[in-house]
Amino acid sequence: MLSGLDFYARVATRGQVLGVGVGARPAEWEAALGGDFLDVEEAGLLRRDHGLVELTFQEEGGAWPCVGVSVRADRLRWDTASHVPAPLREAYGDFAASTRFGELAGAIARLGCTVAHEPDAAGTTEGFHRHRVPESGARIFVRADEDARREAGVLWTLSVSPGWWAEAG
């Protein structure tokens, strides 16, 4: 059976969640992740929160293509059961409350991709390191705050947002 680590590595290398990715419409995402979500719409953007997976859609001529996918691993620290959508639990089993960056980097390498550290000055929030998977463009945010000893080196968020990162470099 696959694991939560496999899920993170696949998102980081393929830029998709259960075969759905950037460009897909809200109905495609609902078919993949189910109907348990919260929508917040404002200023031509729709944020859809499925717990572990958060999506951003941008209105474009009456259509709403997905422009960003965030995997919010940080949310699992408190409650894995309610934050992981049922289709992900069915495909990947139970998710751990946290995932070490070193384990994720190894899983990404086993899928034939690499991980490159990006300078902290490249728009990273203080207390985090940012890494990039060059083959997919995904960004990986890792907790670096040494004051949070148990959380330093832990995966915080994965981001698949080609348009945003093209601007950020």
How does pLDDT run across 3-26, given as a tens digit for each residue? 999 999 999 999 999 999 999 999
Give exposure, 45-54, as e/b (b: 16+ Cβ within 10 Å). Answer: ebbbbbbbbb
Q: What does the alpha-carbon distance between residue 113 and residue 73 come to, in Å, rounded to a whole number? A: 21
pTM, two decimal places: 0.90
**pLDDT over 90 at 45, yes or no:** yes
Query: What is the 8-class DSSP label of residue 131?
Result: E
CA nearest to 41, candidates 57, 24, 63: 57
pLDDT band at 122, cuts 50/70/90? low
145 three-class SS? coil
**pLDDT above 90: percentage of residues in the chain:** 74
3-state secondary structure 42-79: ECCEEEEECCCEEEEEECECCECCEEEEEECHHHHHCC
Q: What does the alpha-carbon distance between residue 155 and residue 129 come to, in Å, rounded to a whole number? A: 10
pLDDT at 125: 67
pLDDT band at 123, cuts 50/70/90? low
Average pLDDT (69-81) is 91
Among the listed ranges 11-15, 29-33, 47-51, 123-127, which one has the minimum average pLDDT value?
Answer: 123-127
pLDDT band at 161, cuts 50/70/90? confident
Cβ pair 105, 71 in contact under 8 A: no
Residue type at position 8:
Y
